[in-house]
Structure 1
Amino acid sequence: MAIQDDYLPCKSYQGHDISEERISKFLNEKSKKHYFAFLDETGSVTLRSEGYTTEKSRDKGLESVLKNISDSKKVEIVKEGKKYFIIVKAGNNKEIARSCDYSSQKAADEALQALTKVSPATAEEKTSNFVEGQMLLSLEGYLPVDMYLDRERVYDTYGITGFVKFRTNDRKYYFGVLNPDATLYLRSKAYDSEDDRDDAFDVMESSILLEENYKIENLNGDYYAVLFEDDEVLAISDKFETFIEAFVTTPGGRPKEYIGTMY
């Protein structure tokens, strides 16, 4: 996951190998983080990423930019002081890339028009968990609920709600989100490496408060609250007997007086 406000100076994104689509990906030797950038035909940087701890998370960030850059709701030009910047946001409304500065609105508009011509087809293809807007929920890769309980908690970002991270005997990695009463709120699938698990955990943290990042899915007559980002399932709840029981566990369904205590 990108580190907030971790952009390099624009000149640091220059001088690296560039693809046919004029996109560069590189490791900064000083920060030991991975970055990507979009450059124009003159070699000037038109869009840059923050730092990612792994190549895989960097490539997922690039894929998200390519997916959202043509969506007018995800791209905007902002003025900060006397400078103008192009900002690209992900589905959870989090900033995932920004341009170098422009001295005028017109210059920023022209750069944005050039950027939106980049085809999403340049992103790495991956299998989608959605078909025509519907999720294909499967419990494969998830442990029974009690396997996520009674474990040492990580830090509690959301008040008394807790996180757990652990590895099982088969060397698979998982995370869980616990309710204040120590019952399970959300659980992850199995990951082959600790880095992959932690990357998914970081995305989960940035999405967990957003109502629009939840779906309620029916599987074999049981209902599950599903947290997702773009087309990736991040975590699922325990099963519930009714749609309403699952829905009231999510940010959109929780009684307002619990917001701030449950999260």
Structure 2
Amino acid sequence: MNETTTSVPKIGFASLGCPKGVRSIPTQRWLSLSVTRSSARATAMCLAGVFAAFLGTLAGAEELPAAAVVAPIFDELFVHQVPAGFKAQAEQTQASVYLRTFVLASDPSTGPWTQRILVSGTKDLGLQAELTPAMFAMQIAKGFQSSCPTSFAGGRVAEANIGTGHSVYVMLVACGSHTLTTNKAPTSEVALVAVVKGDKNMYSVQWSERGEAVATKPEPDRAVWGQRLKAITPFLVCPLKAGEAAPYASCTARR
């Protein structure tokens, strides 16, 4: 992948200032919401199960420059950015779920990592008109919260439309201490989660950072995570045209 320079949509934290058309919500307010759609809950459980199996397929790779990634996923193209200093870790499709991970070049290709970007795509979930990116994101957050009920913090960051007109929902979640690690060692974790609803599929991009476990709720540095949000955007969703091959100019030209 070649290094790219692209304009980044201004989807930021409230403290950074959100432009017109982006709704910013104070931290913690989403915790009062409930999600009752069984499809979202079932999908979140499916993702958890598939990812557990996915961990066994990891392979090493070289460090990548900053680049736009155009991934054909279940008859759509999903575009996101990978910051410089990360390397591809693994990629897998199981049934209706696509998963790909990137870790810091300084992290091992298998075993404990310090920073990871996880990209997922769930087939045909975007066809459910009643299912929103916020509902899907809520299930991710609830799964995270269940792993650290006494040291959990989180909240919505923003909602907007991306360049291709699809809706995106962004949130931060954090655990002071959990044991969702390969060796079950306690760790803290902060994750920036962005969910995009395509015409056919639902996508998520999660940038997570782990560190020493703490007993209290983490307080993420909003400036740092604001810059990281910019580093993984812009997102695009395009139809996969018959016969078109990489680099999928019909979609990337819309950046």
Return the index of the structure with the highest Cα Rg: 1
Which structure shows the bigger proportion of residues in strand conformation? 2
Provide TM-score, normalisation by structure 2.
0.30
Provide TM-score, normalisation by structure 1.
0.29
